[in-house]
Amino acid sequence: MGSQWGADRFYKKAVSEGYRSRAAYKLRDIQNRFNIIRSDDNIIDLGAAPGSWMQVLRELTAGKIIGIDLNPIASIEGTQAITGDFTTDAVQQKITSMVHEVNVVVCDASPKLSGQKSYDQARAVALSEEALLFAIKVLKPGGNFVVKSFQGEMFNELLELARENFYSVRVYRSRAARRGSSEAYIIAKNFKGITNVA
């Protein structure tokens, strides 16, 4: 019951405040605690649909905001959206043509869940790793990265890769997460600017 109550509370708040999903409050919570976004940052949001993080980002920065998702993202004023796979060369080249400098990459994406816990966790961590590899490619030195993942067998490997490439790495569970969830965010700040990928 507690989990459902939490979902209802944040869902109702999102509706009343005009956000597309309750996930908006996870990003607000992360920003309040870690100050990952500055007022002029250019930001890429991976797995951005339906767009609630893009809505929050638009409130936090005057820089460019580009959202990428396999599904179309309904228009949000002052942002740009790409429908496609962020791991492909075509999408990455398109981003390069749209923004000359990327200060922050965020990713709240999740794979479609099968209900098999270990399998779903492995797929979620693999997706998070793809997001991290993308961030390493596009971020300027000193940039920040936030990614959702799920704590399981492969989580520590993902964390270690983040630590190799950023000076400050923390793991954080948002207060807006559903109770009982193994969801956690990796908050990686101050990109070293040297590609440390095995």
Q: Which helix (H) or strand (E) holds 133?
A: helix 117-138
Q: How many other C-beta atoms can be found within 10 angstroms of the C-beta atom of residue 128?
A: 28
Please indicate whether residue 148 is annotated as part of the active site: yes
The DSSP H or E segment spanning 157 is helix 155-165
The closest alpha carbon to 189, from 130, 128, 105, 133, belongs to 105
For the record, the structure tokens of 172 come out as 């954080």
What sign does the CA torsion over 61, 22, 144, 175 have?
A: positive
**Residue 180 falls in which region: left (phi positive, over 0), alpha (psi -120 to 50) or beta:** left
Selecting among 26, 64, 148, 189, the annotated active-site residue is 148
* DSSP state string for 82-96: EES-TTSHHHHHHHH
Q: Are 69 and 49 in contact (CB under 8 A)?
A: yes
The set of catalytic residues is: 148
